[in-house]
Amino acid sequence: MHAILSKKTFHHQTDHPANNKGVKANLEFYSKREYSLDENRMSFERLRVYQKNCWQKYKMAVREILLLGNPKLYEISAPVLKEELEGLKSVIEDLHDTMLDFKHKYGAGRAIAAPQIGVMKRLIYMYIQHPTVFINPVMDQESEDMMTVWDDCMSFPELLVKVKRYRSFRLTYRDQQWREQTATMEDDLSELLQHEYDHLDGVLAVSKAVDAKSFALRNQRKFLCSV
Ligand SMILES: [Zn+2]
């Protein structure tokens, strides 16, 4: 006995606005293929899983954020090569989706570094009013003036750490069109991008704590005096 999976079965999916050629081709492949109910019960199970994954892809590509304790967070990331740019587009989309998902859960999140989702490349994604991608960033011209701040991180969302950061510095990087850009980062942006830059070198804010009393759980922040 054979069951034929008709194209109509997937009508709602092929009409989905987020559909793409790859998914459509796969659905057509499944629609044309004949399955024996007796012999290929597993094929249906695979199809069910495939459909579920398709829907997840349509909605958002939220990746798992590596958490404190994962040794990958201490690795040094490799520079991005120009020929890798095209392949990194989906990583940038994933960083965006993952950060927005985090922001929805925790009410915070302005930037994320690629190694935080396990992509060991020197790439930072920031979204403040509009998206900015920093590829192979290099820091220099750090100010003598330092500031002390309570820092947080998507890789340890419940923890705050008191650290010292440069008040300002210069950042040279490549944008998504591989053009070299230079910007001076000050105050909030300086603090934020030093944090993300550290991720590329496998350095976490917990390693930069000012002293032994520089840790606090987020829900205890009412006890934190101004720094
Ligand atoms: Zn972080």
Name the residue with higher pLDDT: 48 or 111: 111
Question: What pLDDT is stored for residue 224 in this prediction?
Answer: 87
* pLDDT, averaged across the chain: 81
- Please name which of 70, 128, 118 lies closest in space to residue 94, comparing C-alpha atoms: 118
What's the N-to-C CA distance of the chain in angstroms? 74
CB 113 within 8 A of CB 200: yes
Choose the catalytic residue: 64, 75, 180, 196: 196
The answer to whether 120 touches 71, Cβ cutoff 8 Å, is no
Other CB atoms within 10 A of residue 159 CB: 16
What is the whole-number distance in angstroms between the Cα of residue 118 and the centre of ligand 1? 13
The per-residue pLDDT for 185 is 97
pTM of the model: 0.74
| 84 is an active site residue | no
Domains of the chain with CATH codes: 2-59 (no CATH), 71-223 (3.90.45.10)
Q: What is the pLDDT of residues 57-66, one digit of tens each?
A: 445 799 999 9
**pLDDT bracket for residue 11 (50, 70, 90):** very low
178 CA distance to ligand 1 middle (Å) = 25
- pLDDT bin (cut points 50, 70, 90) of residue 225 is confident
* CA pair distance 151, 138, nearest whole angstrom: 21
Ligand 1 centroid to 153 CA: how many Å? 4
Between the CA of 220 and the centroid of ligand 1 the distance, in Å, is 20
- Geometric angle at alpha carbon 147, from 69 and 125, rounded to 5°: 50
Distance 68 CA to ligand 1 centre (A): 10
pLDDT over 60 (residue 130): yes
